[in-house]
Amino acid sequence: MKFAIVVFPGSNCDHDAYHAAKHVLGQDAEFIWHKDTSLQGADAVVLPGGFAHGDYLRTGAIARFSPVMQEVTKFAAAGGPVLGICNGFQILLEAGLLPGAMLRNRSVKFQCEHVIVKVEQTDTPFSLACDRGQRLRIPIAHGEGNYYAEPEVVERLESHRQVVFRYVDTNGAPTPEANPNGSVNNIAGLCNEGRNVVGLMPHPERACELSLGSADGLVMFESVVQSVAQGTVATVR
Amino acid sequence: MRARVFVTLKPSVFDPQGTTVAEALHTLGFDAVKDVRQGKYFELDIDATTVEAARRLAAEAADKLLANPVIESYRIEVGTDVKETVR
């Protein structure tokens, strides 16, 4: 399968995502510049981490108007799998492809550490190779990952099982201490109602090889490979 | 025409930066400052002939880009001779 890795001015995890897809998993991968208007026939799109457009105004606020986002929106609407990692998640929120918004971390610090997330849902293209309840040790690195949505939106996310990843402690409990940024309900990642668009603050692409301290993130990339192979997601061309 | 757009977090949204600033003020002895809410301020120089047209345009810009309606609200002031206190 082929991954499209979107590159915004200021993206800095694009090569990590490319490396995970191309060299660790041996899949086809291509960088797509943010001004491009074609996803080059990719089967899945990754919006990588970084500081697109310098995070000016708000994180993701300018990136959402990049020409490539029209293609990403079309791709997502047709059921194509889209993964937003960290800044990519923030862009998906600003673009309205996922509900809610990000606030400054509760600590007002840039949090850079390994966290544990629990896989809450396995019926998304980026979590289907996981076991339900599986705990993944993955790094975070962000200043604005404090997920916020109005209470009724959060209620809907929970009742529609759209919370895919949650910050938990070593026992699997979503405690305030295990929550690195103040996100409502310890939400680390979520999906849209169609379940094909997933955003998360932790960086799975930085945890794809044991030499990096953890290979727990690889399962998200393996999931989408499996998902595309099974034809469980729409093929968008 | 000059339009000023003040963007602030909605009252229901927690403001970690404002809280930190309030704590710093308390450390400095500003005990009378009960709370701080931090926001953003934009000055738009708009090519418009009427205050209404300028206000409409500024509101459109705020809706589309300057504010995120999920967490923020905004207030607009428009005028040709906005008096300022600058220091």
Q: What is the pLDDT of residues A210-236, one digit of tens each?
A: 999 999 999 999 999 999 999 866 555
Mean pLDDT estimate for chain A = 96
Q: What is the DSSP letter of A172?
A: S
Confidence of residue B81 (pLDDT cuts 50, 70, 90): low
Cβ within 8 Å, pair B70-A105: no
Q: Is position A15 annotated as part of the catalytic site?
A: no
Contact A92, A197 (CB under 8 A): yes
Cβ within 8 Å, pair A148-B13: yes
Span A131-147, average pLDDT: 97
Q: Is position A203 annotated as part of the catalytic site?
A: yes
Q: Which CATH architecture fits A2-230? A: 3-Layer(aba) Sandwich (3.40)
Domain ranges of chain A: 2-230
Residues whose CB is less than 8 angstroms from the CB of residue B29 and which lie 6 or more positions away in sequence, other chains included: none
Cβ within 8 Å, pair A148-B70: yes
Q: What is the pLDDT of residue A211?
A: 95
Q: What is the pLDDT of residue A234?
A: 56
Closest approach of B86 to chain A, Cα-based (Å) = 24
Q: What is the pLDDT of residues A50-87, one digit of tens each?
A: 999 999 999 999 999 999 999 999 999 999 999 999 99
- Please give the share of chain A, as a percent, with pLDDT higher than 70: 97
Q: What ipTM is given for this predicted complex?
A: 0.84
Residue A237 has pLDDT above 80, yes or no: no
**Residue A114 vs residues A132, A214, B50: alpha-carbon distances, Å:** 21, 9, 55
Question: What domains can be seen in chain B, in order of their start residue?
Answer: 2-79 (3.30.1280.10)
Span A196-214, average pLDDT: 97
